[in-house]
Structure 1
Amino acid sequence: MIHDNTARKRQWLDPGEASNPTPKPDIHGKKVMLCVWWNSKGLVYFEVLDSGQTVTANLYQGQLDRLDQAPRRQGVDTASTKFLHDNARPHVAKITQQKIEEMGWEVLPHPPYSPDLAPSDYHLFRSMHHSLAEKKFKNRDEVQIWVSNFFESQPVEFFKKGIHSLRERWRQVIDADGEYHLD
């Protein structure tokens, strides 16, 4: 039997020999960001950002304008909206705070580093993660269609449960004197 070792890569270098780095293949493909707003009755508005696009204060301000218009098109007054978002820079930027004040929305306090108090993190995205297992999309449009179908397939109770469980989570944080917890 003949055994040929020439195809096998060496896993060591001789002293003084320069390495020849080889980049790993991109096993994850391009990623897009989902920005979503929802309440106890269901989806209010979402956007799928282009690959590599990040949320800046200016982008977020535009999203808030579009978010405000979504329910208004259905005849819903948004003036007394209670609004929860985390403390990411675009969310706490001065222009964002001014925009929210202009719209008359009340921002609920969100302690720093508290993903356990973000219903999107503990409820919505966790459920989406399970549904996304092994899915691959060819482009951003396919992602948007999948996201839209995902939200449409959820019963109102799904959204209601996610929002209403926030009360209990707030109570746990208060009882634990602000300490982080996982469920």
Structure 2
Amino acid sequence: MDETWIFQFDPKPKSAPMHRRRPSSPPPKKAKVTQSSGKVMLSCFCDCDGIIMTDYMEKAKTVTGEYYSGLLKRLRSELARRRRGKFRSGVLLLHDNAPAHRARQAAERCGFKILPHLPYSPDLAPSDFCLFPNLKKSIKRRRFEDSTDAITAVEAWFQAKSDTFYSQGLLKVKERWEKCVTQLGAKDILNSPRRYSLAGL
């Protein structure tokens, strides 16, 4: 599970072309393009078979512990409906260490077991290196009329992805965790608060 902002317009950064100019000439003027103020917070729950549940929150609101607890209750209902066999065998919930996500009691009441996640470690969150980057790339530079239009585009992108897209993303989590433990040591990882990144391993 993870969250990300979905903008009604998010410009794609472009590298400026290099033009030869005299040392005394002023630098060329560039048009400044910024993100739109219209946005929604996407909360996404998925497993190896695809998207289980999504939630969209307007920008004026905040993801609190109470709000997140409500999402977990909804997730439990969706799992019972969509993944009945898997739900009976137990649910492992992987999310980051945002304050709202520390509602451990709410997760336990729903029957979820929370997997430990290292602080400041986006390399070990599947949404940060697999799901969201690909989603953001697909909607870059697209202008949506409103939040509903943006949400429709996001949901269409989710539905267009094959089951292997999600399963391969979760397999990468396992591989990265194993690599992290092998290279750094499980005891050192769990006892140290510093950032762990697999980019250089």
- Please give the per-residue CA displacement for 1:144-172, whole angstroms capped at 9, x wherever unaligned: 21111011100001001111111111012
> 2:120 aligned with 1:113, yes or no?
yes
> 2:99 aligned with 1:89, yes or no?
yes
Partner amino acid, structure 1, of 2:98: A
| Structure 2: distance between partners of 1:71 and 1:174 | 31
Asked if 2 retains the 8 angstrom alpha-carbon contact of 1:32 and 1:52, the reply is no
Q: Give the counterpart of 2:50 among 39, 42, 46.
A: 42
Q: Deviation above 6 Å: which 4+ runs of structure 1?
A: none
Q: 1:176 to 1:75 in 2, by over 3 A?
A: closer
- Please give the per-residue CA displacement for 1:68-88, whole angstroms capped at 9, x wherever unaligned: 111223361535101100110
Asked if 2 retains the 8 angstrom alpha-carbon contact of 1:31 and 1:51, the reply is yes
TM-score (norm 1): 0.79
C-alpha root-mean-square deviation of aligned residues, in Å? Answer: 2.0
- Please give the per-residue CA displacement for 1:25-84, whole angstroms capped at 9, x wherever unaligned: 965232211100000000000011112322110110011111111122336153510110
Number of the residue aligned with 1:9: none
SS in 1 for 2:197: coil
Asked if 1 retains the 8 angstrom alpha-carbon contact of 2:52 and 2:79, the reply is yes
Q: Give the counterpart of 1:123 among 109, 130, 140.
A: 130
> 2:172 aligned with 1:155, yes or no?
no
Q: Percent identity?
A: 31
Q: Give the counterpart of 1:64 among 59, 72, 95.
A: 72
TM-score (norm 2): 0.72
Q: How many residues align?
A: 157
SS in 2 for 1:33: strand
Cα displacement (A) at 1:100: 1.0
Q: Which runs of 5+ in 1 are unaligned?
A: 1-23
Number of the residue aligned with 2:198: 181
Number of the residue aligned with 2:5: none
| Structure 2: distance between partners of 1:27 and 1:153 | 26
Asked if 2 retains the 8 angstrom alpha-carbon contact of 1:48 and 1:140, the reply is no
Q: 1:32 to 1:175 in 2, by over 3 A?
A: same
Q: 1:126 to 1:160 in 2, by over 3 A?
A: same
Cα displacement (A) at 1:104: 1.7
| Structure 2: distance between partners of 1:173 and 1:75 | 30
Larger radius of gyration: 1
